[in-house]
Structure 1
Amino acid sequence: MLWTEDPHLYKALDMIKHTPRANLANRPKAYSYVRFSTPEQAKGDSFRRQTEAAEKYAALHGFEMDTKFTFHDLGKSAYRGGNVADGMLGEFLSYVKSGDVPQGSYLLVENLDRVSREAPRKALRTLEDIVDAGVNVVTLSDGRTYTQETLNQDTMMLFASIMYFARANEESATKARRLRDAWGNKRKNAAIKPLSALCPGWMRLRDDRTGFDLIPERADVVRRVFDMTLAGKGQHTIAETFNKEGVPVFGRGSHWHRTYIKKMLSDASTIGAFTPHRVETVGAKRQRIPTETVEGYFPAVVDREVFERVNALSSGRAVRESNSGGPANILAGLAKCPGCGSTMTRVNKGGKKGGRPYLVCTTAKAKGGCDYRHKVRIDGIEAAIIGNAGWLNASLPATDEALQSEWERATAADMAVGDEIELLVGAITKLGEQSSRALLDKLRQNEAAREGIQRTIADLERRIADTLTNRVQVTAAQFVDAAEAEQRDIALINATLRQLFTNVEVDWLSGRLRFHWKHAPGETTGITYAWAKEDA
């Protein structure tokens, strides 16, 4: 019987319910870590089972389940340590090190194999990293608690954990070996039987699954792309032409784009070739390694001579473009068009080397339906962001919506009272000795009211700071330091911005930048940038 079926559970819940609040406030924090390896498991019962088991254990032992953070690696394997290298278990360790997860807390997992399925030595190291950071690990299936003390003093528990990790690693290794052998056999037979139904957008798998057939109207579009390229048309021009003519897009896109044209021109499947890949893991990173190319795997849509001529042209263009230089884009990966929501990309006015850089909507640039007239100068945006770095840092929103709303109301009240004080001071100055006592009394009342409002704002800002993670605040401080440095590193500023914000709307109509905070969804901060005549 699992501990989750303990008949005393409800008695424990009742005890917690009647525990004085002062004692509840001192309860140890508990964090649930849920992991499973494949996306298909999300359709089953794994997530519910692991989550409910953690909640019941916390209730039974008087722990406070933390709801501020969630640590789920859904569809991520622990066989190569990916859940630590770039997953949420690694995030959990970073929160422990930053102090956002207090020492003495408990990490609740279903089994040790949820933590790691690496080789026993590496898996044990991951477990030790967690407990050495001051966090206890509980395995819910058997109710065992792993701490620094138990791993140091209980030799049997240490040996048991090593044996458990060894068994979990062997299970994963066996599965990986079988999958590798199966795909190896498929690759050997690729010349006579398709590996899968995956194919380029201009062809389809036959009903009997023995091969692929071209889709005539789409094949004509592919041939036209190659012909236009040989005729001297650029990729952007080809995409723009197709959008004007209403040529249907292959796949789920809404319009033709230069990058898709570029990919098509370099795709060897246009001449029928296919290169299978095998997946190898180096460290915790999965890498696709090309194997031997299979000629004639797909039906060819263009001649090899045409393909080689086009790619000889394209490689020359790529060399020229890569040496064009130009300043970095401070909003790279962040800038969004407020009209259609598409990414905004950097262009040089007139396309000349050393030209003035602008941001434009990618959909508009491809004539996909958005207004292309609006080009926004990057230098004005850069100056606004650097000049308002301190303001952005001061505007860090709370994760508590009610607290954030209270701060916004208090700030608005402070601005309103400030405006009224300015008007009163102006009136008193203008009247001089003829100024009435009523105006002076009103001024004193407003000044006293503003002092009270500002005390409230200061208190709210302290409470907001308490709701923010140390890591968010450290990142915001790094952004300010990078922006205020004598030798500014635009790439570094961009990197910190991408950690703080999900996107930045560049609203050319109002001359405003709207920053969407990553840690507080729905919260934005706006600043004004220099809006030049050329932007229209």
Structure 2
Amino acid sequence: MNKHTPATAPANRSKAYSYVRFSTPEQQKGDSFRRQTEAARRYADVHNLDLQEATYQDLGVSAYRGANVAETGRLREFLEAVEHEDIPRGSYLLVESLDRISRQKPRKAVRLLEQICEAGIAVVTLNDGRVYTEDSLDSDSWSLMGAMMIAIRANEESETKARRLREAWANKRRKVSDKPLSSLCPGWLRLREDRKGFDAIPERAKIVQRVFDMTLAGMGQHAIAETLNKEGIPVFGRGSHWHRTYVNKMLADASTIGAFTPHRLEIVGGKKRRIPTETVEGYFPAVVDREVFEKVNAMSSARSVKQNNGAGMANILAGLAKCPKCGATMTRVNKGGEKGGKPYLVCTKAKARGGCDYRHKVRIDGVEEAIIRNAGWLNASLPATDEALQMQYEGATNAEMAASDEIENVVEAIARGGRSAALLDRLHQNEAAREDIRRTIADLERRIADTLTNRVQVTAAQFVDAAEVEKRDVALINATLRQLFSKVEVDWPSGRLWFHWKHAPGETTGIMYAWPKEDA
């Protein structure tokens, strides 16, 4: 190769994937992120590895309790990509050190390392250049023992930090009557300048009292939020408008009568649980009478029991449906009451009169029918992760439709008695051109399928299967939709649902939905 020939990567270069993790968001501001990413880049260059752009990052995620290998962790995403063979055997996982992968109990940490290596992935620790493979763990006992020792040290460090933190908070809780645990307090209170207690903010305390009074007068939480929004009363927190959920939390918050219940963090069944400790009376200044508080909560408890009878997920777009006007969540409501009412989707911001005018109610049954009917179409519409490839495909399909329209025009001209040689020749040319376009589309479809991960395709197939069974599992359909899409815009003016694909940001697929005449 002469010096003017561009260097190209050999086809047989092994792929390498960088995994970056640190525990606290503050570490991103320091040197941790740069150090880990540059070390991976250097190692790949020196060892002639093809470092992939798909870097797996758990930033501000702890490996002590295994959060990075839980459902939301990016290391879990890497493991699933290996399982589905989207990441081929023989690839490399580049990490700064083994404790970036796990700080769990040594047995679990080593088991995770073995799981990765047994899947045909070589794990490289960049701080010492050691390479762990299935063969090395089997044949080199020192390699396995070294991994175990590193896991023991990492777990002991995390255990020590966790114990010290628990002791510090336990000490704070013991002294809670003398000094606040922290500066955190409800929105109607503020920390005193001497930091030894809290004071009520008079104008906000009056709003809290008013909310309780309106509730006792029989006004619902939606109506209360709507009233506060119409009057232009500023929200206590960072929200843009008053919402039913904030009103609900306020009414149930014992800090309104001055009580505070500290919590301690425990791991139960592998998941974090906040365990309540002894309630401290008088921790906050009370802004509501205890008798009023207890009356309101008695009303709320009775209402909750009534609403939760026969509860279950009844909306396949739960957590996904968004307003096309303001982007707020659309929630399910029943028009005409709980019994025999018709379920609708409405914009939560418009419902609370928080500034959005998209007040139309969209019947859920029409939306659900459209999604079920078009499940196969959504599956077939999986966009490529390569934007240029997707644009080529869309251009080819548009050209195919144009060619079909032209053929139809020529056929109509011939049918009207114009069987000239020129028209017949034009028909043959257009048909030949359409066949060429269709071959191009078929080739592009194969290339697009190659860019899609097996995980996405498997999830899309699961969605179709769940939608096609006679007795549908709404929760299962919703779960698959949430894996495939980041949001679904319920665009009533156009009569379409716009699905935003997770794996291809910026790509959307639209389907029509039907609504009864009274909604039109």
Which TM-score band (shorter chain)? Answer: over 0.9
Task: Verify the 8 A CA contact 1:112 1:165 in the aligned structure 2.
Answer: yes
Matched, 1:107 2:105: no
Aligned counterparts of 1:49 and 1:137: Cα–Cα separation in 2:
18
Aligned counterparts of 2:60 and 2:52: Cα–Cα separation in 1:
23
Aligned counterparts of 1:138 and 1:145: Cα–Cα separation in 2:
5
Opposite residue 365 of structure 1, the aligned amino acid is K
Matched, 1:45 2:34: no
Partner of 2:290: 304
User: After alignment, is 352-361 or 134-143 more displaced?
Assistant: 352-361
Partner of 2:468: 484
Cα offset for 1:535? 2.3
Moved over 6 A (4+): 14-20
Task: Verify the 8 A CA contact 2:267 2:273 in the aligned structure 1.
Answer: yes
Opposite residue 362 of structure 2, the aligned amino acid is V
Matched, 1:278 2:264: yes
Cα offset for 1:324? 6.4
Aligned positions of 1:63-212 closer than 5 A:
63-67=49-53, 69-86=54-71, 87-212=73-198
Cα offset for 1:423? 2.5
Partner of 2:341: 355
Task: Verify the 8 A CA contact 1:240 1:366 in the aligned structure 2.
Answer: yes
Partner of 2:240: 254
> Where does the alignment leave 5 or more consecutive residues of structure 2 unmatched?
none
Aligned counterparts of 1:16 and 1:515: Cα–Cα separation in 2:
49
Matched, 1:244 2:230: yes
Task: Verify the 8 A CA contact 1:397 1:404 in the aligned structure 2.
Answer: yes
SS of equivalent residue, structure 1 residue 447: helix
Cα offset for 1:282? 2.8
- The number of equivalent residue pairs is 519
Opposite residue 28 of structure 2, the aligned amino acid is A
Give the one of 48, 54, 61 matched to 1:62: 48
Matched, 1:317 2:303: yes
SS of equivalent residue, structure 1 residue 351: coil
Opposite residue 395 of structure 1, the aligned amino acid is S
Partner of 1:435: 419
SS of equivalent residue, structure 1 residue 165: helix
SS of equivalent residue, structure 1 residue 253: coil
SS of equivalent residue, structure 1 residue 25: coil
Aligned counterparts of 1:380 and 1:422: Cα–Cα separation in 2:
34
Aligned counterparts of 1:283 and 1:471: Cα–Cα separation in 2:
27
Task: Verify the 8 A CA contact 2:313 2:475 in the aligned structure 1.
Answer: no
User: After alignment, is 351-360 or 385-394 more displaced?
Assistant: 351-360
Aligned counterparts of 2:374 and 2:438: Cα–Cα separation in 1:
21
Structure 1 residues 534, 352: CA separation in 2 closer, same or farther (over 3 Å shift)? Answer: farther
User: After alignment, is 346-355 or 234-243 more displaced?
Assistant: 346-355
Structure 1 residues 371, 350: CA separation in 2 closer, same or farther (over 3 Å shift)? Answer: farther
Cα offset for 1:48? 0.5
Aligned counterparts of 2:309 and 2:68: Cα–Cα separation in 1:
38
Cα offset for 1:373? 4.0
Taking structure 2 as the reference length, the TM-score comes to 0.97
- Which string of whole-angstrom CA distances, capped at 9 and with x for unpartnered residues, describes residues 225-252 of structure 1? 0001111111111111111111111111
Aligned positions of 1:356-505 closer than 5 A:
356-429=342-415, 431-432=416-417, 434-505=418-489
User: After alignment, is 23-32 or 231-240 more displaced?
Assistant: 23-32
- Which string of whole-angstrom CA distances, capped at 9 and with x for unpartnered residues, describes residues 422-471 of structure 1? 22223333x14x53333222222211111111110111111111111100
> Where does the alignment leave 5 or more consecutive residues of structure 1 unmatched?
1-13
Task: Verify the 8 A CA contact 1:203 1:215 in the aligned structure 2.
Answer: yes
SS of equivalent residue, structure 2 residue 429: helix
Aligned counterparts of 2:516 and 2:204: Cα–Cα separation in 1:
43
Task: Verify the 8 A CA contact 1:85 1:284 in the aligned structure 2.
Answer: no
- Which string of whole-angstrom CA distances, capped at 9 and with x for unpartnered residues, describes residues 333-368 of structure 1? 111110111111111122241212111111111111
Give the one of 315, 320, 329 matched to 2:315: 329
Task: Verify the 8 A CA contact 1:358 1:375 in the aligned structure 2.
Answer: yes
Opposite residue 318 of structure 1, the aligned amino acid is S
Give the one of 315, 318, 327 matched to 1:341: 327
Task: Verify the 8 A CA contact 1:34 1:71 in the aligned structure 2.
Answer: yes
Aligned positions of 1:17-28 closer than 5 A:
21=8, 24-28=10-14
Structure 1 residues 467, 326: CA separation in 2 closer, same or farther (over 3 Å shift)? Answer: closer
Aligned counterparts of 2:5 and 2:277: Cα–Cα separation in 1:
65
Structure 1 residues 64, 297: CA separation in 2 closer, same or farther (over 3 Å shift)? Answer: same
Aligned counterparts of 2:211 and 2:94: Cα–Cα separation in 1:
56
Aligned counterparts of 1:123 and 1:326: Cα–Cα separation in 2:
38
SS of equivalent residue, structure 1 residue 421: helix
SS of equivalent residue, structure 1 residue 419: helix
Cα offset for 1:326? 8.4
Partner of 2:511: 527
- Which string of whole-angstrom CA distances, capped at 9 and with x for unpartnered residues, describes residues 264-321 of structure 1? 0000000001111111123442111111111111000101111000000011111111
Partner of 1:218: 204
Aligned counterparts of 1:513 and 1:57: Cα–Cα separation in 2:
46
Structure 1 residues 78, 249: CA separation in 2 closer, same or farther (over 3 Å shift)? Answer: same
Task: Verify the 8 A CA contact 1:349 1:356 in the aligned structure 2.
Answer: yes
- Which string of whole-angstrom CA distances, capped at 9 and with x for unpartnered residues, describes residues 104-130 of structure 1? 111111111111111211111111111
Aligned counterparts of 1:262 and 1:206: Cα–Cα separation in 2:
27
Matched, 1:506 2:469: no
Task: Verify the 8 A CA contact 2:344 2:361 in the aligned structure 1.
Answer: yes
Aligned counterparts of 2:44 and 2:76: Cα–Cα separation in 1:
22
Cα offset for 1:85? 2.1
Task: Verify the 8 A CA contact 1:80 1:283 in the aligned structure 2.
Answer: no
Task: Verify the 8 A CA contact 2:20 2:59 in the aligned structure 1.
Answer: yes
Task: Verify the 8 A CA contact 1:375 1:534 in the aligned structure 2.
Answer: no
Opposite residue 41 of structure 2, the aligned amino acid is E
Task: Verify the 8 A CA contact 2:323 2:358 in the aligned structure 1.
Answer: no
Matched, 1:515 2:499: yes
Aligned counterparts of 1:16 and 1:202: Cα–Cα separation in 2:
71
Task: Verify the 8 A CA contact 1:16 1:59 in the aligned structure 2.
Answer: no
- Which string of whole-angstrom CA distances, capped at 9 and with x for unpartnered residues, describes residues 368-411 of structure 1? 12225411111111111111111111111111111111111111
Structure 1 residues 17, 105: CA separation in 2 closer, same or farther (over 3 Å shift)? Answer: farther
Taking structure 1 as the reference length, the TM-score comes to 0.94
Task: Verify the 8 A CA contact 1:359 1:377 in the aligned structure 2.
Answer: yes
Aligned counterparts of 1:306 and 1:324: Cα–Cα separation in 2:
30
User: After alignment, is 41-50 or 376-385 more displaced?
Assistant: 376-385
Structure 1 residues 425, 487: CA separation in 2 closer, same or farther (over 3 Å shift)? Answer: farther
Cα offset for 1:153? 1.2
